């Protein structure tokens, strides 16, 4: 895997693998945290995230600016939100590595 190949193919050839990685991460995080918050993060923050690959660093997500401000319909303090978002992002990045590097 290299960055250019991933970027060129992620929404074509690699799309099923991306979907599987996100689904696996969602299932894992949804078991550990409040499902209402997890769903909100999934639909209101991660829907605008961009999966990326760096030849040195591996897989990572680019998140939209001010992710906490995007959250609506769920009352949660910013510290709790950040902790769940961080865990969710880490789970997605680990799933991406497992799917593509595995």
For the segment 26-46, what is each residue's pLDDT rounded down to a tens digit?
999 999 999 999 999 999 999
Give me the domain span that covers residue 43.
3-101
The pLDDT > 70 percentage for the chain reads 99
| Domain total of the chain | 1
* β pairing state of 50-54 and 58-62: antiparallel
pTM given for the model: 0.92
Least Cα distance to 2 among 42, 53, 36 occurs for 53
Strands (E), the chain: 50-54, 58-62
Least Cα distance to 102 among 58, 48, 62, 63 occurs for 58
């Amino acid at each position: 895997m290299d960055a250019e190949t991933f970027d060129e193919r992620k929404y074509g050839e690699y799309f099923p693998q991306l979907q599987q990685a996100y689904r696996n991460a969602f299932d894992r995080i949804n078991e550990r945290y409040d499902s209402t918050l997890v769903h909100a993060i999934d639909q209101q923050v991660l829907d605008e995230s961009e999966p990326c690959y760096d030849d040195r660093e591996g897989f990572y997500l680019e998140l939209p600016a001010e992710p906490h401000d995007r959250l609506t319909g769920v009352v949660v303090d910013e510290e709790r939100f950040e902790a769940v978002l961080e865990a969710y992002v880490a789970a997605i990045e680990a799933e991406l590595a497992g799917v593509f590097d595995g």
